Amino acid sequence: MTGAGVLVGCTTAAVTLIAASLTWTGTAIIWTVIGIAMALVITPTGKVLRASVGRNAIPEAFAAQFSLSHLAWLITYPVAGWLGTNAGFTLAWSVLAVLAGAGALAALLLWPRHDGERALTAPSAPVRPAPSTDWSTLAKAA
């Protein structure tokens, strides 16, 4: 949630700086801090996903996370570009700040508080067996 908080704070700071005639230095600082916030959000994703699902469902969880994150980018990139071009950066950053806040609020309200503890102690499905290697077939191929 730290990264989400930083993203909301940065987009709000961008709106404030634009309203006060943003300079290139201010833009560079905001972009840098937003980049750090994105790293804070993205980096622990694998750990969160592994702790939230049984061992058997890890590939599906990663596929779902990949799809959802790219769906969010598919929505926000055109919104930012279109609004920035047609309505100005103040409105574009304002809309992005609202979207970041809505995402952070949704995460707080929807994410189970003790999700990781449950998944680590009681997997939801049996673990897939390890693939067996038939050495006799490999020896014939060589």
Contact 49, 62 (CB under 8 A): yes
Domain boundaries, the chain: 2-121
**Per-residue model confidence (pLDDT) at position 91:** 87
Positions of the chain with pLDDT lower than 50, given as ranges: 118-123
List of residues 6+ apart from 40 with CB closer than 8 A: 2, 3, 6
Separation CA 83–CA 93 (nearest Å):
9
Side chain identity at residue 19, one-letter code: A
Residue 30's pLDDT is what? 77
Helix ranges (DSSP H) in the chain = 2-19, 24-42, 45-52, 58-86, 89-110, 115-121, 135-141
Q: Tell me the whole-structure pTM to 2 decimals.
A: 0.59
